[in-house]
Amino acid sequence: MQISNHKDFNAGLLFILLGISTTVLARSYPIGTAAKMGPGYFPFILGFMLTVLGFVISLKNLSKGRGVRKRALIRFRPVVFVLSSIVLFGLLLLPLGLLLSTLLLILISSMASDEFKMKVAILNAFVLLIIVLIIFVYFLKFQIPVLPAFLGGRT
Amino acid sequence: MIAFRKWCFMICIAMVFVILGVCPGSTQEIKGPIKIITPYAPGGSSDIVARLIADKLKDILGQTVIVENKPGAGGRIGTEYAKNQPADGSSMLVMNPALFVVSPLVYSKLAYDPDLDFKPVSQVQVYHFVLSIPANSPIKDFKGLIEWLKKNPKQANYGSPASGSLPHFFGLMIGKYAGVEMVHVSYNGSGPLITALIGGHIPMGVDTYDAQSRYHPDKIRILATAGTSRKHPDIPTFKELGYEIEGVGWNGIVVPAKTPQAIMDKLSQAIVKVVKMPEVKQKLEQIGAEATGTTAEEFARVIKQDRGRWGPIIKASGFKAD
Amino acid sequence: MELLSNLALGFQTAISPQNLLYCFLGTLIGTVIGVLPGIGPVQTIAILLPTTFALPPVSALIMLAGIYYGAQYGGSTTSILVNVPGEASSVVTCLDGYQMALQGRAGAALTVSALGSFVAGCFATLLIVLLAIPLSELAFKFGPAEYFSLMVFGLIGSIVFASGSPMKAIGMIVLGLLFGVVGTDITSGTQRFSLGIPELADGIGFVPLAMGLFGISQIINSLEQKEKREILKTKIFGFWLKKKDLKEVAPAVARGTLTGSLLGLLPGGGGILSSFISYMLEKKVSHNPESFGKGNICGVASPESANNAGAQTSFIPLLTLGIPTNVIMAMMAGAMMIHGIQPGPRVISSNPELFWGVIVSMWVGNLMLVILNLPLIGIWVKLLTVPYRVLYPAILLFCCIGIYSVNNNIFDIWLTAILGFSGYLFVKLECEPAPLILGFVLGPMMEENLRRGMLISRGDPSIFFTRPLSLAFLLMAFAMLVVIAVPAIHRKREEAFHEEGEEG
């Protein structure tokens, strides 16, 4: 047995996993009858469908023939830096305010690139800060704290 | 180069932790602008009430009054947020029966307790519920509707703007008093409900007077209103028709429970004064509501009365949100 | 000629200096927030709504309307240039618009989306003027059965969004339907799959979903492989359309405009649904459907016309019946109510200057937008020469700020990060996100109406087959299924023969 297409096979596995967990979770809601469908009815059917689809996709790629070995290229640097910069922004926006959290977001996310240069990133952060302040804070008056909370930062 | 980058990153992270460590100890002091929190998005009735009051309150109290929208989870996020605001009179919340009367009964875990976390200040407005049918229906009045329902029990469907809303339970109340088993069909707001009603896809709808009255009488016929007195000179109330059914929704102001009594009294008086202003009263009437402006005691009594009225119906319906 | 006097009144109102100014302000703000990813008309209108309470109601509505349809113009720009939807309803524009940019035809793509939007805007305005009242009746014909069947039709059609394996596309649709289930169940009020998180009670937001799956994951992927960006920098062809393009695009714009105009009338319709359905239709009627997703100009023209038309006709139910069909219309209703105007059929007679003024202002606004946007195209294309390492942190920043400001809630930012990671995973597994998004949009309406229909009919499914409109949609869905399945089966056979031949 050989896996002919890893991407398809894994996608099938993902569908099976999500399908089964939905089906299980959906059981905790009343299923009801066709005339009076409960909140569990629709997700239960969907979960079941997804599981079946997942099996079909995975099994189709479990053939005897020699497979095209298609494996995805994964590099950790972009994923880690981009995602952590967003999470951190969420964590810091309220306590630190817009100014500092923007600076951090730009710096950290810039590190995701192979062409990262500290100077460019800092300059970029300042330019963007000015744009953000003009458009969102001054002009559109978004309800976002600008200064850190400990400096009495309110919108 | 790589070492330099790593170093930069670590500095950033370190900065974050240092600042995070400083934060909790340094929350701001009490005084500041007064804010009226509305747990819904701008443009709805709760928001309009908040803005009408804020606009006038600033003159009476001589302080800036701002409106803060904290929408989400049917108002529960904003309510929880308001509960944790400073209890010094600088935070108020626009409240309604869905959050104060219904939610505690249908959620097993609610992030706030209406009685322990808040104190009522003043009820601002009430809105009447109505029962309406499409205008092209052969049914002319409420008595006729009941006869029709008894003959066609399979078509006893009524729509409401949301599952678990007061109109939902009010429909059940009507069914109970009329001796008909009513099947609830929920819609995603008043708009879709009215569209379905005018299109004749459901025979009856229960909603607020202001949502339904926009079409009266060319598209939608309101059979009865549910207040103590008539909302429209030509439409009877359920009581007049001999049915002991009454149901109104409201918007009122509450504050975090620890707010000192003296501040509460001051706020309550100010709000009553605002609501009684002819201009405010007129604006509230224009959007189909009725301005009340009750005292804090009166408001507390209304809440208690509402629990007595809706509680049994909600429990009997078996409705659970989680 | 009552119509002429009405229009005259409308013009008189719309071109008063004050209203012209607010119209311009609205369209300008709309364009800007449309271009900025993550920030769309929903949160902008919500935030600016209170400030318009100080304006006369006509000016307020003119400005807010301008923001809404202005955003439809701006949204496509970001989709085309950086493959990140600038606005929710320009998600589909990414598919072919960005491919065009990669081929050096960013200018043409931008031009066609601006012109398409303009044509659609003018047509939709005309439609409102001539047929607003009869058209508004159309929504009444749609009961649960009709909605359900329309959604089935839409879902089956959405398989065409797949450019790879159709099986995986179906899987993604089902996954999208499941994403749509999260949150408060409309029929029973139950919280489903919300994992005890109150923020999830309203379901997964469309903005975090679109930004996560299309924006964030796109950024991560571009960073992994930088060669693609280089092509973009090297060759940029002319901005203007060739004669051949114009000929090809004109019918696509017409179809998009018509689709958008009709779907805008329905509750839940508006820009997003219009753009998806029109793309679907366009691919179906096209002579070379395989070129879609690879830079087909019609794949930009049609959805961009549709979203603008849909945005404008969604005003019809509000202005003529007082029925808001989407969140933005609900806020418009709020803007009217704060001024003591009850939205509803009486507006036309009680506030004719408001009704006709707002309508005429839409035409004026569209004119302003096209004048504003065409010269900007040159500048936008230059944006491509900005190094990506400077551009992508900016996109991330705008996404984060925009997503936060929808509900003033931090949770949405984290949700976007999670969805961004899922999107990245999907790309790695070669699963396309577009079918998922469509499933997400259609799913809740489909479930809601299925259950409502069965509830009303007391469990008798014949309700879906006995109503003519509903039956028509189901038959169309079936026909589409046959059209999709037959060539696939055919191809399978051919392949099988082929392999046997080769093997022997």
User: Do B183 and B169 fall within a single domain?
Assistant: yes
Section B66-79 average pLDDT: 87
> Are B218 and C456 an interchain contact pair (Cβ–Cβ within 8 Å)?
no
Question: In this predicted model, what pLDDT tens digit does every residue of C210-221 receive, in sequence order?
Answer: 888 888 988 898
Show which of B192, B225, B258 is a domain's final residue: B225
Rounded mean pLDDT, B131-136: 92
- As given in the structure block, the two tokens for residue B11 are 């500095």
Cβ-contact C93, C76 below 8 angstroms: yes
Mean pLDDT of C289-297: 87
Cβ-based contacts of A102 with chain C (< 8 Å): 397
Contact A104 B68 (CB under 8 A): no
pLDDT tens for residues B260-293?
888 888 899 999 999 999 988 988 887 778 889 8
Cα separation, C359 vs C58, in Å, equals 11
CB-based contact B198:B134 (threshold 8 Å) = yes
Distance, in angstroms, between B48 CA and closest chain A CA?
18
Pairing of strands C191-192, C183-184: antiparallel
Beta bridge partners of residue B204, listed in sequence order: B158
Give residue-wise pLDDT tens across range C433-458: 888 888 888 888 899 999 999 999 98
CB contact under 8 A, B214 and C53: no
Using one digit for the tens of pLDDT, what is the confidence trace for C49-87? 777 777 888 999 999 999 999 988 888 888 888 888 888
Q: What is the rounded average pLDDT of the residues C269-281? A: 82
Q: Is C201 or C135 the better-scoring residue by pLDDT?
A: C201
Q: Which two tokens stand for residue B283?
A: 């604006």
Q: Please state whether beta strands B248-256 and B91-95 pair in parallel, antiparallel, or not at all (unpaired).
A: antiparallel
* Residue B161 · residue B249 · CB < 8 Å: no
Residues 6+ apart with CB under 8 A from C350: C341
Provide mean pLDDT across the span B230-259: 90
Backbone angles phi, psi at B130, to 5 degrees: -135, 160
Mutant choice from A142, A144, A154, A155 vs C, greatest count of C C-beta within 10 A = A142
Tally the domains of chain B.
Answer: 2
pLDDT at residue A139 is higher than 80: no
| Residue B171 and residue B119 share a domain | no
Which chain A residue has the Cα nearest residue C47?
Answer: A142
Maximum alpha-carbon separation in chain C: 82
Beta strands in C315-427 (DSSP E): none
Q: Give one word for B225, left, alpha or beta, with left for phi > 0 and alpha for psi -120 to 50.
A: beta
Q: Give the domain range for residue B136.
A: 128-225
- Report yes or no on B259 lying in a domain: yes
C-alpha C446/C-alpha C465 separation (Å) is 16
Q: What is the pLDDT of residue B215?
A: 65
Which residue in this structure is represented by tokens 């049918």? B133
More confident residue, C59 or C480: C59
C100 or C406: which leads in pLDDT? C100
Taking an 8 Å cut-off on Cβ atoms, the answer to whether B201 and C143 are in contact is yes
CA distance C377 to C107: 7
Query: Which tokens in the block code for residue C226?
Result: 């930088």
What DSSP character marks residue B75? Answer: G
Task: Kindly state the average pLDDT of the residues C171-189.
Answer: 90
Which chains does chain C touch, 3 or more C-beta pairs < 8 A? A, B
Selected residue of C184, C327, C341, C413 to mutate for chain B interface (largest B Cβ count, 10 A): C184
Residues 6 or more apart whose Cβ sits within 8 Å of residue C64: C26, C45, C48, C49, C52, C331, C332, C335
ipTM: 0.91
Q: From chain A, pick out residues whose CB is under 8 angstroms from the CB of C187.
A: 37, 39
With CA atoms as reference, report the closest residue to C39 among C394, C438, C428, C480.
C394
The confidence score (pLDDT) of residue B30 equals 35
Angle at C305 between CA C300 and CA C308, to 5 degrees: 125
**Residues from chain B contacting residue A101 (CB–CB below 8 Å):** none
Say yes or no for a CB contact (<8 Å) between C190 and B283: no
- Between C499 and B179, the more confident residue is B179
**In the block, which residue shows the tokens 């703000």?**
C29
Inter-chain contact B4–A118, Cβ cutoff 8 Å? yes
Name the residue among C51, C390, C447 with its Cβ closest to that of A124: C390
First-residue to last-residue Cα distance in chain A: 62
Which residues from A are below 8 Å from B20, CB to CB? 92, 95
Q: Which CA distances in Å does B116 have to B20, B113, B259?
A: 31, 5, 12
CA distance B214 to B212: 6
- The confidence score (pLDDT) of residue A69 equals 57
CATH number at residue B54: 3.40.190.150
| Closest by Cβ to B23, choosing from A88, A95, A107 | A95
Residue whose tokens read 């972009």: A78
Task: Give percent above pLDDT 70 in chain C.
Answer: 91
With helix as H, strand as E and coil as C, how does C426-487 read?
HHHCCCCHHHHHHHHHHHHHHHHHHHHHHHHCCCCCCHHHHCHHHHHHHHHHHHHHHHHHHH
Q: Which residues contact A75 (CB under 8 A, 6 or more apart)?
A: C224
Region C33-57: mean pLDDT is 81
pLDDT tens sequence across B24-65: 333 333 356 889 999 988 778 888 889 889 988 888 888 888
Of C389, C400, C410, the CB nearest to A110: C389
Interface residue of B26, B38, B69 to substitute, partner A, most A CBs within 10 Å = B26
DSSP string, C223-282: HH--HHHHHHHH----SSPPHHHHHHHHHHHHHHHHHHHHHHTSTT-SHHHHHHHHHHHH
Neighbours of chain A (3+ CB pairs under 8 A): B, C
pLDDT (tens digit, 9 = 90+) per residue, C351-361? 888 989 998 99
Strands (E), C266-322: none
Residue A42 has pLDDT above 70, yes or no: yes
- Quick: pLDDT tens for C216-260: 988 898 888 765 555 455 455 566 677 788 888 899 999 999 999
pLDDT reading at A47 higher than 90: yes
Q: Is B105 exposed, middle or buried (0-12, 13-18, 19+ CB in 10 A)?
A: middle
Whether the Cβ atoms of residue B111 and residue B278 lie closer than 8 Å to each other: no
Share of chain B above pLDDT 70, in %: 89
**Beta carbons of A134 and C422 less than 8 angstroms apart:** no
**If you average pLDDT over each of B177-181, B214-218, C242-246, which comes out highest?**
B177-181
- In whole angstroms, give the CA distance from residue B92 to residue B301: 19
Q: What is the pLDDT of residue C502?
A: 43
Rounded Cα distance between C122 and C366, Å, is 7
Cβ <8 Å between B8 and A118: yes
Task: Report the C-alpha gap between C135 and C317 in whole angstroms.
Answer: 9
User: Minimal Cα–Cα distance from A22 to chain B, Å?
Assistant: 17
Residue among C184, C407, C455 whose CB faces B185 most closely? C455
Nearest to A104 among B4, B12, B27 (CB): B12
Cβ neighbours of B90 in A, within 8 Å: none
For range A66-85, the mean pLDDT: 77
CA distance C427 to chain B (A): 28
pLDDT at residue number A68: 57
Q: Which burial class, exposed, middle or buried, applies to B315 when counting CB atoms under 10 A from its CB (0-12, 13-18, 19+)?
A: exposed
Say what the pLDDT of residue A154 is: 47
Dihedral (Cα; C370, C374, C379, C385), 10-degree rounding: 110
Q: What is the pLDDT of residue B121?
A: 94
Chains touching chain B, criterion 3+ CB pairs below 8 Å: A, C
A6 burial (CB, 10 Å; 0-12 / 13-18 / 19+) is: middle
Residue of A88, A116, A118 with shortest CB distance to B16: A88
For residue B17, give the amino acid letter. Answer: F
Q: What percent of chain C has pLDDT over 90?
A: 27
Residue C127 C-alpha from the chain's centroid: 20
Question: What angle separates helix C388-407 from helix C57-82, to the nearest 10 degrees?
Answer: 140
**Distance between CA A29 and CA C416 in Å, rounded?**
27
Q: Residue C422: what pLDDT?
A: 94
Task: Please answer whether residues B96 and B248 qualify as being in contact, where contact means their C-beta atoms are separated by less than 8 angstroms.
Answer: no
* Among candidate residues C325, C313, C316, the one with its CA nearest the CA of residue C345: C316
pLDDT at position A83 over 90:
yes
Greater model confidence, A76 or B275: B275
Q: Which residues contact A129 (CB under 8 A, 6 or more apart)?
A: A99, A102, A103
CB-CB contact of C294 with C238 (8 Å): no
- Please tell me the distance from the alpha carbon of residue C362 to that of residue B279, in angstroms, as a whole number: 33
What is the count of residue pairs from A and B with beta carbons less than 8 Å apart? Answer: 37
Are B58 and B107 part of one and the same domain? yes
CB contact under 8 A, B163 and C186: yes
Asked if the Cβ–Cβ distance from A78 to C417 is below 8 Å, we say no
CA distance C91 to B299: 49
Min Cα distance C28 → chain A (Å) is 12
User: Structural domain boundaries of chain C?
Assistant: 2-503
pLDDT at A67 over 60: no
Residue from the list A37, A83, A144 with its beta carbon closest to the beta carbon of C401: A144
Q: What is the pLDDT of residue B303?
A: 93
> A43 vs C187: CB contact, 8 Å cut-off?
no
Instruction: State how far residue C158 is from chain A, nearest Cα, in angstroms.
Output: 17
Closest to C341 measured CA to CA, from C113, C149, C129, C61: C61
> What is residue B320's predicted lDDT score, i.e. its pLDDT?
82
When pLDDT is cut at 50, 70 and 90, the band that residue B1 belongs to is: very low
Angstroms from A66 CA to nearest CA on chain C: 14
Give the integer Cα–Cα distance in Å for B77 and C53. Answer: 26
Asked if the C-beta of A29 comes within 8 angstroms of chain B's C-beta atoms, the answer is no
For helices C327-338 and C41-52, the axis angle rounded to 10 degrees is 0
C451, HSE (Cβ side, Cα atoms, 13 Å): 25
Contact list, B183 vs chain C (CB under 8 Å): 455
d(CA C28, CA C344): 29
Helix (H, G, I), strand (E, B) or coil at C336: helix
Sequence-separated (6 or more) residues with CB below 8 Å from residue B171 = B131, B158, B160, B182, B184, B204, B206
**Residues of B with Cβ-Cβ distance to A149 under 8 angstroms:** 23, 26-28
More confident residue, C1 or B264: B264
Mean pLDDT of chain C: 84
* Residues in chain B, total: 322
- Residue with the two structure tokens 């950086």: C82
